[in-house]
């Protein structure tokens, strides 16, 4: 499974069309909140379960998306954060559509 098309419609969502024709749409706030990098994972662990982070515009604006091999995309955010590697199955799990 690989992305055929990756888009950021209206700068609000990440849209992926996969090579099996399935689709994934993830809200950018959710994508940033669940950033899989070690720094963000540690931060999440230190917060209470009910904590709702408030993001600045730069933190939820994507500046670059790069494919990593055959298994993931790396997302660079406008605030400079670029260590999140989103593996394809993880992304599919975040999708708002089935």
What is the contact surface with Zn ion in residues (CB under 5 A)? 35, 37, 40, 84
Q: How far, CA to CA in Å, does 45 sit from each of 12, 19, 41, 56, 84? A: 26, 34, 6, 21, 16
Name the pairing type of β-strands 84-87 and 23-27.
Answer: unpaired
Q: How far, CA to CA in Å, does 13 sit from each of 25, 26, 41? A: 6, 5, 21
Comparison of 17 and 94: residue with beta carbon closer to Zn ion: 94
Comparison of 17 and 78: residue with beta carbon closer to Zn ion: 78
Closest contact distance (angstroms) between CB of 11 and Zn ion is 19
Comparison of 22 and 93: residue with beta carbon closer to Zn ion: 93
Closest contact distance (angstroms) between CB of 46 and Zn ion is 14
Closest contact distance (angstroms) between CB of 42 and Zn ion is 10
Tokens standing for residue 20: 């099996």
């Amino acid at each position: 499974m690989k992305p055929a098309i990756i888009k950021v419609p209206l700068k609000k969502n990440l849209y992926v069309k996969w090579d099996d024709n399935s689709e994934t749409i993830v809200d950018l706030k959710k994508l940033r909140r669940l950033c899989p990098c070690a720094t963000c994972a540690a931060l999440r662990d230190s917060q209470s379960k009910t904590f709702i982070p408030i993001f600045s515009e730069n933190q939820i604006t994507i500046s670059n998306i790069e494919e990593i091999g055959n298994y993931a995309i790396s997302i660079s955010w406008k605030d400079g954060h670029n260590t999140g590697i989103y593996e394809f199955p993880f992304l599919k799990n975040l999708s708002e559509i089935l």
